[in-house]
């Protein structure tokens, strides 16, 4: 099913306080941004648009460069909205927005120190904390899962580290969230500030053995409890730039540009940001009561290992139907409903929605999702050019992680909108292709637009 614009969608105009940002076309969004930029919207505060840098510490990129200094950048817009990102993992640490009465609220989950990111965000299998939450990281070379930790490309089988059941998750043992990104550069205008950082991913990234002119990567491509294996890693050298831009319309834009540097080898690419949102504040507890809308009429159901079966299943009449606003918690336990078994397999929502090709657009991007905190009247709108969005309800947050404000994170403390291509696309010919040909460049943009 696809939404058609012969009439307004059923969810159009819901929640009068946020309806303006659902207007069709860029004109409506410009008006909404102007309203959001008013002094009243930021509690009467005015700030200077600025970007500052500080030293966030030292982290080890392992075989990709050893100990390196990590830079942190604080971007502030004229409404006093503030975003902090740092070069370890090209990570979003915090997104702090003003409330109507002047207080500042951080609306993404994260850690206070760099050591917590290194040791807890996505540690390798040798760590007792293996299987971290990936808070705020830039995920690559392949976001989400690749089934069986392998894929065929141009007649060659490529094998990858096994770090999630029998699968590869979020790039492997040392994904891009565990690397120190290089050459950060900043830019400022009267309306926005930005920072760009770069990562070179070698041919054979995440493979085992000694590669030409490199150090040893993974000596073993299996978790320590399994028999040792070797793997090829991802083919082709890829140079990727990620640019974070904060503007005075309270929009955080993330632009990815990934170039395949190899003259002959193709590769696969799938990039996303893994921020967890809680619009009531990262320290406010469960987000079950927050309302979500997803501009997708289908999902890609998974097997028991959370690998898509290849089916495109309608969400109509199921707990996965967020085509109108529903609270996250309203149907998350409905195991007997159609597709309810999917909630059991994933312990909640952890699925890829197939985004509709119709609906509201902004700057050439389609509407992916929207979230609303009814109590605070704070909202988030997600725009993207990606074909899918992984909505994850924080199912494996179990209380052992202490967040940036000193509070523990438990299930549904936050949720993600991971805009991306579909999971396991290299092994599913009916999914949009993730192949990046030799010499080609992949470009993608996602915007997180806030109102408060």
Q: What tens digit of pLDDT does each residue of 344-365 get?
A: 999 999 999 999 999 999 999 9
d(CA 362, CA 23): 9
Q: Quick one: CA dihedral 117, 120, 126, 128, positive or negative? A: positive
Instruction: Show me where the domains of the chain are located.
Output: 19-451
Q: How far is CA 12 from the centre of its chain?
A: 26
pLDDT in the model for residue 54: 98
Active-site residue set: 274, 418
Burial class (CB in 10 A: 0-12, 13-18, 19+), 399: exposed
pLDDT in the model for residue 404: 97
pLDDT in the model for residue 219: 78
3-state helix, strand, coil in the chain (%, to 5): 10, 40, 50
pLDDT in the model for residue 3: 32
Q: Quick check: helix, strand or coil at residue 63?
A: helix
With beta carbons less than 8 A apart as the criterion, state whether 403 and 282 touch.
Answer: yes
pLDDT in the model for residue 130: 87
Closest by Cα among 96, 97, 98, 74 to 85: 74
With beta carbons less than 8 A apart as the criterion, state whether 438 and 447 touch.
Answer: no
Residue 233, CB-side half-sphere exposure with 13 Å CA sphere: 25
pLDDT in the model for residue 375: 87
pLDDT digits (tens, 9 = 90+) for 223-282: 888 898 999 999 999 999 999 999 999 999 999 999 999 999 999 999 999 999 999 999
For the chain, give the mean pLDDT. Answer: 90
pLDDT in the model for residue 18: 40
DSSP H helices in 214-339: none
For 166-188, give one letter per residue: b (16+ CB within 10 A) or e: ebbbbbbbbbbbbbbbeebeeee
Tokens of 399: 């209380």
- Tokens 């990934």 correspond to 258
The percent of residues above 90 in pLDDT, for the chain, comes to: 79
pLDDT in the model for residue 29: 41
pLDDT digits (tens, 9 = 90+) for 174-196: 899 999 999 999 999 999 999 99
For 422, which DSSP code?
Answer: P
CATH of 19-451, one of 2.70.98.10, 3.90.1300.10, 3.40.190.10, 3.40.50.300: 2.70.98.10
Closest by Cα among 347, 382, 349, 387 to 368: 382
d(CA 322, CA 376): 21
- Tokens 């640019």 correspond to 243
Q: Interior CA angle at 381 toward 142 and 186, to 5°?
A: 65
pLDDT digits (tens, 9 = 90+) for 27-61: 344 434 444 444 445 556 789 999 999 999 999 88
d(CA 448, CA 360): 15
Q: What is the mean pLDDT of residues 384-395?
A: 98
d(CA 304, CA 325): 28
């Amino acid at each position: 099913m696809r939404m058609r614009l012969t009439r307004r969608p059923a969810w159009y105009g819901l929640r009068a306080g946020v309806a303006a940002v659902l207007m069709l076309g860029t004109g409506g969004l410009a008006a909404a941004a102007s309203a959001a930029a008013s002094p009243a919207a930021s509690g009467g505060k005015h700030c200077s648009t600025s970007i500052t840098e500080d030293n966030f510490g030292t982290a080890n990129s392992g075989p990709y460069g050893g100990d390196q200094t990590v830079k942190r950048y604080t971007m502030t817009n004229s409404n006093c909205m503030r975003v902090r990102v740092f070069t370890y993992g090209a990570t979003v640490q915090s997104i702090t927005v003003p409330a109507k009465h002047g207080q500042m609220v951080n609306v993404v989950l994260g850690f206070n120190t760099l050591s917590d990111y290194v040791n807890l965000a996505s540690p390798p299998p040798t760590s007792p904390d293996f299987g971290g939450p990936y808070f705020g990281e830039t995920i690559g070379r392949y976001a989400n899962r690749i089934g069986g930790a392998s894929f065929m490309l141009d007649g060659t089988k490529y094998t990858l580290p096994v770090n999630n059941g029998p699968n590869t998750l979020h790039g492997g043992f040392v994904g891009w969230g565990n690397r120190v990104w290089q050459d950060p550069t900043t830019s400022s205008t009267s309306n926005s500030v930005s920072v760009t950082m770069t990562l070179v991913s070698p041919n054979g990234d995440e493979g085992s053995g000694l590669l030409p002119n490199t150090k040893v990567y993974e000596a073993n491509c299996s978790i320590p409890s399994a028999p040792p294996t070797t793997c090829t890693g991802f083919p082709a050298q890829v140079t990727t730039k990620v640019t974070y831009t904060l503007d005075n319309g309270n929009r955080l834009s993330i632009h990815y540009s990934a170039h395949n540097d190899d003259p002959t080898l193709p590769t696969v690419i799938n990039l996303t940001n893994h921020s967890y949102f809680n619009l009531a504040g990262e320290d406010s507890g469960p987000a079950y009561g927050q309302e979500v809308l997803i501009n997708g009429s289908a999902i890609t159901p998974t097997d028991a290992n959370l690998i898509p079966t290849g089916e495109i299943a309608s969400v109509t009449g199921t707990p996965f139907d967020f085509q109108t606003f529903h609270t996250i918690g309203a149907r998350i336990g409905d195991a007997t409903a159609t597709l309810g078994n999917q909630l059991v397999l994933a312990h909640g929502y952890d699925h890829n929605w197939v985004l509709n090709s119709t609906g509201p657009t902004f700057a050439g991007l389609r509407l992916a999702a929207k979230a609303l905190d009814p109590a605070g009247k704070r909202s988030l709108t997600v725009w993207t050019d990606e074909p899918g969005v992984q909505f994850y309800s924080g199912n494996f947050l179990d209380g052992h992680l202490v967040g940036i404000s000193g509070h523990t994170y438990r299930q549904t403390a936050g949720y993600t909108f991971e805009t991306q291509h579909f999971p396991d696309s290299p092994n599913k010919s009916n999914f949009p292709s993730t192949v990046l040909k030799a010499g080609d460049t992949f470009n993608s943009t996602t915007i997180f637009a806030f109102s408060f």
